[in-house]
Amino acid sequence: MNVLIVYAHPDPQSLNASLKDYAVRHLQAGGHTVQVSDLYAMEWNAILQTEEIPERADHRADILSEQEKLRWADTVIFQFPLWWFSMPAIMKGWVERVYTLGFGYGVGEHSDQRWGDRYGEGTLAGKRAMLLVTAGGWESHYSPRGINGAIDELLFPIHHGILFYPGMEVLPPFLLYRTGCMNEALFAEACTQLGQRLDTLATTAPIPFRRQNDGDYDIPAMTLKAALAPGAQGFKAHLAQPPSLL
Protein backbone atom coordinates (compact mmCIF):
# COMPACT_ATOMS: atom_id res chain seq x y z
CA MET A 1 0.00 0.00 0.00
CA ASN A 2 1.17 3.53 -0.78
CA VAL A 3 0.73 5.82 2.20
CA LEU A 4 1.11 9.60 2.18
CA ILE A 5 1.49 11.37 5.53
CA VAL A 6 0.69 15.08 5.39
CA TYR A 7 2.31 16.34 8.57
CA ALA A 8 2.18 19.69 10.35
CA HIS A 9 4.23 20.46 13.44
CA PRO A 10 7.13 22.93 13.60
CA ASP A 11 9.22 21.17 16.27
CA PRO A 12 11.30 18.15 15.15
CA GLN A 13 11.68 17.17 18.83
CA SER A 14 7.93 17.18 19.52
CA LEU A 15 5.59 14.37 20.44
CA ASN A 16 4.05 14.69 16.99
CA ALA A 17 7.44 14.24 15.36
CA SER A 18 8.04 11.09 17.39
CA LEU A 19 4.63 9.71 16.44
CA LYS A 20 5.24 10.52 12.78
CA ASP A 21 8.62 8.78 12.84
CA TYR A 22 7.07 5.75 14.53
CA ALA A 23 4.29 5.63 11.94
CA VAL A 24 6.78 5.71 9.06
CA ARG A 25 8.90 2.93 10.58
CA HIS A 26 5.88 0.79 11.40
CA LEU A 27 4.32 1.13 7.96
CA GLN A 28 7.59 0.41 6.19
CA ALA A 29 8.18 -2.62 8.40
CA GLY A 30 4.76 -3.85 7.27
CA GLY A 31 5.81 -3.66 3.63
CA HIS A 32 4.13 -0.36 2.76
CA THR A 33 5.68 2.49 0.80
CA VAL A 34 5.54 5.83 2.60
CA GLN A 35 5.97 9.44 1.55
CA VAL A 36 5.84 12.34 4.02
CA SER A 37 4.94 15.93 3.25
CA ASP A 38 6.47 17.64 6.29
CA LEU A 39 4.95 21.06 5.73
CA TYR A 40 7.09 23.05 8.15
CA ALA A 41 10.31 21.36 7.02
CA MET A 42 9.28 22.05 3.41
CA GLU A 43 8.62 25.70 4.34
CA TRP A 44 5.29 25.26 2.60
CA ASN A 45 3.78 28.51 1.38
CA ALA A 46 0.32 28.49 2.93
CA ILE A 47 -0.88 31.62 1.13
CA LEU A 48 -2.90 31.23 -2.06
CA GLN A 49 -1.30 33.56 -4.60
CA THR A 50 -3.25 35.82 -6.95
CA GLU A 51 -1.99 33.97 -10.00
CA GLU A 52 -3.24 30.68 -8.54
CA ILE A 53 -6.92 31.62 -8.37
CA PRO A 54 -9.13 29.64 -10.78
CA GLU A 55 -9.43 32.34 -13.44
CA ARG A 56 -5.64 32.59 -13.64
CA ALA A 57 -4.75 28.98 -12.91
CA ASP A 58 -0.98 28.89 -12.98
CA HIS A 59 -0.26 25.79 -10.93
CA ARG A 60 3.21 25.98 -9.49
CA ALA A 61 5.60 23.09 -9.14
CA ASP A 62 4.96 22.69 -5.41
CA ILE A 63 1.21 22.31 -5.99
CA LEU A 64 1.66 19.84 -8.83
CA SER A 65 4.07 17.78 -6.72
CA GLU A 66 1.56 17.47 -3.88
CA GLN A 67 -1.24 16.58 -6.27
CA GLU A 68 0.93 13.83 -7.72
CA LYS A 69 1.54 12.47 -4.22
CA LEU A 70 -2.21 12.37 -3.64
CA ARG A 71 -2.77 10.52 -6.91
CA TRP A 72 -0.03 8.05 -5.94
CA ALA A 73 -1.37 7.34 -2.45
CA ASP A 74 -3.82 4.59 -1.56
CA THR A 75 -4.21 6.04 1.94
CA VAL A 76 -3.56 9.56 3.20
CA ILE A 77 -2.89 10.32 6.86
CA PHE A 78 -3.23 13.93 7.97
CA GLN A 79 -1.29 14.39 11.20
CA PHE A 80 -1.48 17.55 13.27
CA PRO A 81 -1.99 18.97 16.76
CA LEU A 82 -5.44 20.39 17.41
CA TRP A 83 -4.76 24.13 17.57
CA TRP A 84 -7.66 26.47 18.23
CA PHE A 85 -10.16 23.72 17.42
CA SER A 86 -8.78 22.91 13.97
CA MET A 87 -5.67 22.04 11.97
CA PRO A 88 -2.65 24.39 11.95
CA ALA A 89 -2.83 27.23 9.42
CA ILE A 90 -0.03 25.77 7.32
CA MET A 91 -2.07 22.60 6.71
CA LYS A 92 -5.21 24.57 5.90
CA GLY A 93 -3.09 26.53 3.44
CA TRP A 94 -1.89 23.26 1.94
CA VAL A 95 -5.52 22.28 1.32
CA GLU A 96 -6.41 25.67 -0.16
CA ARG A 97 -3.52 25.59 -2.62
CA VAL A 98 -3.46 21.87 -3.51
CA TYR A 99 -7.21 21.39 -3.92
CA THR A 100 -7.35 23.40 -7.12
CA LEU A 101 -10.32 23.82 -9.45
CA GLY A 102 -10.71 20.59 -11.41
CA PHE A 103 -8.73 18.63 -8.84
CA GLY A 104 -10.27 19.20 -5.42
CA TYR A 105 -13.53 20.81 -6.53
CA GLY A 106 -15.51 21.80 -9.59
CA VAL A 107 -15.43 18.24 -10.94
CA GLY A 108 -18.24 16.56 -12.87
CA GLU A 109 -21.67 17.41 -14.23
CA HIS A 110 -23.81 20.05 -12.51
CA SER A 111 -27.47 19.57 -13.42
CA ASP A 112 -30.86 18.70 -11.95
CA GLN A 113 -29.70 15.08 -11.69
CA ARG A 114 -26.18 15.55 -10.30
CA TRP A 115 -24.39 18.35 -8.53
CA GLY A 116 -20.85 17.53 -9.42
CA ASP A 117 -18.64 14.64 -8.42
CA ARG A 118 -18.20 15.36 -4.72
CA TYR A 119 -19.08 13.96 -1.27
CA GLY A 120 -18.04 10.39 -1.99
CA GLU A 121 -17.02 10.95 -5.60
CA GLY A 122 -14.31 12.99 -7.26
CA THR A 123 -10.61 12.99 -8.05
CA LEU A 124 -9.64 11.16 -4.85
CA ALA A 125 -12.37 8.49 -4.92
CA GLY A 126 -11.13 5.03 -4.05
CA LYS A 127 -8.58 6.30 -1.55
CA ARG A 128 -8.76 6.17 2.24
CA ALA A 129 -7.93 8.92 4.69
CA MET A 130 -7.38 9.14 8.44
CA LEU A 131 -6.67 11.97 10.84
CA LEU A 132 -3.96 11.49 13.46
CA VAL A 133 -4.69 14.24 15.99
CA THR A 134 -3.12 15.22 19.30
CA ALA A 135 -4.86 17.45 21.85
CA GLY A 136 -3.71 18.94 25.12
CA GLY A 137 -7.12 18.64 26.75
CA TRP A 138 -8.65 15.64 28.47
CA GLU A 139 -10.83 13.24 26.49
CA SER A 140 -13.80 14.30 28.63
CA HIS A 141 -13.28 17.91 27.47
CA TYR A 142 -14.14 16.70 23.96
CA SER A 143 -17.10 14.51 24.90
CA PRO A 144 -20.67 15.30 23.77
CA ARG A 145 -21.21 17.41 26.91
CA GLY A 146 -17.60 18.53 27.28
CA ILE A 147 -16.66 22.20 27.41
CA ASN A 148 -14.75 22.04 24.11
CA GLY A 149 -17.56 20.36 22.19
CA ALA A 150 -17.78 16.81 20.88
CA ILE A 151 -14.65 15.82 18.95
CA ASP A 152 -16.68 14.30 16.10
CA GLU A 153 -18.42 17.65 15.60
CA LEU A 154 -15.17 19.60 15.78
CA LEU A 155 -13.60 17.35 13.16
CA PHE A 156 -16.67 17.19 10.90
CA PRO A 157 -15.55 20.09 8.65
CA ILE A 158 -12.27 18.27 8.03
CA HIS A 159 -13.71 14.76 7.74
CA HIS A 160 -16.70 15.69 5.60
CA GLY A 161 -15.55 18.88 3.89
CA ILE A 162 -11.85 18.21 3.19
CA LEU A 163 -11.57 14.42 2.99
CA PHE A 164 -14.99 13.10 1.92
CA TYR A 165 -15.76 16.03 -0.41
CA PRO A 166 -13.16 15.02 -3.04
CA GLY A 167 -14.10 11.36 -2.71
CA MET A 168 -11.95 9.70 -0.05
CA GLU A 169 -13.35 7.15 2.38
CA VAL A 170 -12.80 8.61 5.84
CA LEU A 171 -11.66 6.34 8.66
CA PRO A 172 -12.36 7.12 12.32
CA PRO A 173 -9.54 9.33 13.62
CA PHE A 174 -6.67 8.28 15.84
CA LEU A 175 -6.89 10.67 18.82
CA LEU A 176 -4.36 11.24 21.55
CA TYR A 177 -5.36 13.45 24.50
CA ARG A 178 -3.50 15.09 27.43
CA THR A 179 -0.29 15.36 25.46
CA GLY A 180 1.30 17.52 28.15
CA CYS A 181 1.24 14.53 30.51
CA MET A 182 3.10 12.21 28.13
CA ASN A 183 5.86 10.02 29.54
CA GLU A 184 7.77 7.00 28.23
CA ALA A 185 5.19 4.47 29.38
CA LEU A 186 2.27 6.42 27.92
CA PHE A 187 4.17 7.00 24.69
CA ALA A 188 4.86 3.27 24.35
CA GLU A 189 1.15 2.58 24.90
CA ALA A 190 0.20 5.22 22.34
CA CYS A 191 2.56 3.68 19.78
CA THR A 192 1.05 0.25 20.36
CA GLN A 193 -2.43 1.62 19.76
CA LEU A 194 -1.29 3.59 16.72
CA GLY A 195 0.42 0.52 15.30
CA GLN A 196 -2.82 -1.41 15.57
CA ARG A 197 -4.67 1.31 13.67
CA LEU A 198 -1.97 1.44 10.99
CA ASP A 199 -2.18 -2.34 10.58
CA THR A 200 -5.90 -2.09 9.79
CA LEU A 201 -5.92 0.92 7.45
CA ALA A 202 -7.19 -1.25 4.62
CA THR A 203 -9.94 -2.99 6.60
CA THR A 204 -11.32 -0.47 9.11
CA ALA A 205 -14.90 0.52 8.31
CA PRO A 206 -15.11 4.17 7.22
CA ILE A 207 -17.37 6.78 8.78
CA PRO A 208 -20.73 6.18 7.05
CA PHE A 209 -21.24 9.57 5.40
CA ARG A 210 -24.10 9.78 2.93
CA ARG A 211 -22.95 10.00 -0.68
CA GLN A 212 -24.32 13.04 -2.46
CA ASN A 213 -25.50 11.39 -5.67
CA ASP A 214 -26.89 8.14 -4.25
CA GLY A 215 -30.44 9.44 -3.85
CA ASP A 216 -30.45 10.76 -0.28
CA TYR A 217 -30.49 14.44 -1.29
CA ASP A 218 -32.87 16.60 -3.28
CA ILE A 219 -30.93 18.05 -6.20
CA PRO A 220 -30.17 20.89 -6.84
CA ALA A 221 -31.28 22.11 -3.38
CA MET A 222 -28.81 19.64 -1.83
CA THR A 223 -30.92 19.08 1.28
CA LEU A 224 -31.51 15.69 2.84
CA LYS A 225 -34.83 14.18 1.76
CA ALA A 226 -37.55 14.62 4.36
CA ALA A 227 -38.15 10.89 4.79
CA LEU A 228 -34.55 10.30 5.87
CA ALA A 229 -33.44 10.82 9.48
CA PRO A 230 -36.63 12.70 10.43
CA GLY A 231 -35.97 15.31 13.08
CA ALA A 232 -32.21 15.12 12.67
CA GLN A 233 -30.37 18.32 11.93
CA GLY A 234 -26.79 19.43 11.56
CA PHE A 235 -23.83 17.13 11.13
CA LYS A 236 -25.49 13.92 12.29
CA ALA A 237 -28.12 14.11 9.55
CA HIS A 238 -25.41 13.36 7.02
CA LEU A 239 -24.52 10.02 8.57
CA ALA A 240 -26.22 6.90 7.30
CA GLN A 241 -25.93 5.55 10.83
CA PRO A 242 -24.60 7.14 14.02
CA PRO A 243 -20.91 6.28 14.47
CA SER A 244 -18.84 6.44 17.62
CA LEU A 245 -15.60 8.34 17.15
CA LEU A 246 -14.72 8.51 20.83
Task: List pLDDT tens digits, range 187-240.
Answer: 999 999 999 999 999 999 999 999 999 999 999 999 999 999 888 888 889 998
pLDDT band at 54 (very low <50, low <70, confident <90, very high): low
Q: What is the pLDDT of residue 231?
A: 83
Whole-model pTM over 0.95: no
Residues 62-76: what's their mean pLDDT?
97
Q: What is the pLDDT of residue 56?
A: 56
Q: Does residue 94 or residue 235 have the better pLDDT?
A: 94
For the chain, what is the largest distance between any 2 Cα atoms, rounded to a whole number of angstroms? Answer: 57
Share of the chain above pLDDT 90, in %: 83
Q: CA dist 202 to 30, 114, 143, Å?
A: 13, 29, 28
Chain centroid to CA 108: 22
Q: What is the pLDDT of residue 246?
A: 35
